[in-house]
Structure 1
Amino acid sequence: MIKGLYETHIQVSNLEASILFYTEVLGLKLAHLDKTRPIAFLWIGKEKEFMLGLWEQKENLQPRHFAFSSTKEDILNYSVDFLKKRDLKPYNFLKDGIEKPMVFAWMPALAIYFNDPDGNQLELISILEGEGKPELGVISYEEWLKVN
């Protein structure tokens, strides 16, 4: 499901719980744990290709957003079930209660969102073929197919 991400770091309230979430729930691999700082580094996709850093922060946690790259097929066919089976709530960019991926027409890209236990906003995204159409805004995949 998750194919890659360039290195990014986020704050988490409980390092051990976050390591379990990102490894057991999402399938990332623990690369290195430094309890003296405390920080954990996780491989995303192929080992040594992409990395996520988890920094334990007990106070003034500042949730962030980042996107995991995925495939159009995985997002369309598996992402919602993948997330729900892991007790995660999928949502689209509009947060309108519809649990379906949507298209950012300006890119164009297909995406679905979910949160980690600390409220970091995570996204599965896939760039779509074709030219962007910024005038369309954010639309359903079905609407995107009608104009392409």
Structure 2
Amino acid sequence: MIKGLYETHIQVRNLDRAVEFYTRVLGLKFAHRDDTRPIVFLWIGDNKQQMLGLWEVKENLQTRHFAFNASKEDILNFSSTYLKDRGLKPYNFLKDNSDTPMVFAWMPALAIYFDDEDGNSLEFIAILEGAGRPELGVIPYEEWLAYTS
């Protein structure tokens, strides 16, 4: 019955600033602003397949994490430049001051992280082909290639 995740919601401190970030900086598309409550809905991708809700809260902001699906090629070739060109600091899962994407070997999946202006942890992730290797943990992509070649 479940075919995927349709929408997720996060809290932001300033709704207009967050809409600007997610539309102008990340390229999401404006869908709807509810005038009866402090929320804006944004489309992720085309054809109304996924949606992000931004809720403005003035106190006790609770940051969250979610991941955008991306291609392996985009993550490897463009993600760091894409993020840096937009004033964002990419980081890997280990938070070791590296902006090199890492592989979650159990899945396997390639990922790079960044934060929005409110401290929500965002991620670009691409599922890799082949079987998972959970015993490898989280490793650099080059190391993953050595195990899978």
| 1:5 positional shift | 6.4
Higher relative contact order (CA 8 A, sep 6+): 1
Once residues 5 and 85 of structure 2 are traced to their aligned partners in structure 1, the CA distance between those partners, rounded to angstroms, is 23
Matched, 1:116 2:121: no
Residue matched to 2:96: 96
Residue matched to 2:38: 38
| 1:18 positional shift | 0.2
Once residues 6 and 120 of structure 1 are traced to their aligned partners in structure 2, the CA distance between those partners, rounded to angstroms, is 19
In 2, are the aligned partners of 1:106 and 1:134 still within 8 Å (CA)? Answer: yes
The one-letter code sitting in structure 2 at the alignment partner of 1:100 is T
Is the partner of 1:40 in helix, strand or coil?
strand
Residue matched to 1:49: 49
Once residues 57 and 78 of structure 2 are traced to their aligned partners in structure 1, the CA distance between those partners, rounded to angstroms, is 33
Once residues 5 and 32 of structure 1 are traced to their aligned partners in structure 2, the CA distance between those partners, rounded to angstroms, is 19
Deviates more, 1:42-51 or 1:15-24: 42-51
The size of the alignment, in residue pairs, is: 145
Once residues 34 and 143 of structure 1 are traced to their aligned partners in structure 2, the CA distance between those partners, rounded to angstroms, is 47
Matched, 1:76 2:76: yes
Once residues 119 and 137 of structure 2 are traced to their aligned partners in structure 1, the CA distance between those partners, rounded to angstroms, is 26
Once residues 48 and 8 of structure 2 are traced to their aligned partners in structure 1, the CA distance between those partners, rounded to angstroms, is 14
Residue matched to 1:13: 13
The one-letter code sitting in structure 2 at the alignment partner of 1:60 is N
Deviates more, 1:5-14 or 1:111-120: 5-14
Give TM-score scaled by structure 1 length.
0.96
Once residues 7 and 25 of structure 1 are traced to their aligned partners in structure 2, the CA distance between those partners, rounded to angstroms, is 20
Unmatched 5+ residue regions in structure 1? none
Is the partner of 1:21 in helix, strand or coil?
helix
CA RMSD of aligned residues (A): 1.1
In 2, are the aligned partners of 1:5 and 1:67 still within 8 Å (CA)? Answer: no
Q: 1:45 to 1:5 in 2, by over 3 A?
A: farther
Is the partner of 2:87 in helix, strand or coil?
coil
The one-letter code sitting in structure 1 at the alignment partner of 2:89 is K
Once residues 142 and 28 of structure 1 are traced to their aligned partners in structure 2, the CA distance between those partners, rounded to angstroms, is 31
Q: What's the CA shift string for 1:56-79, capped at 9, x where partnerless? A: 000000000000000000000000
Give TM-score scaled by structure 2 length.
0.95
Runs of 4+ residues over 2 Å off in structure 1? none
Is the partner of 1:91 in helix, strand or coil?
coil
| 1:35 positional shift | 3.1
Unmatched 5+ residue regions in structure 2? none
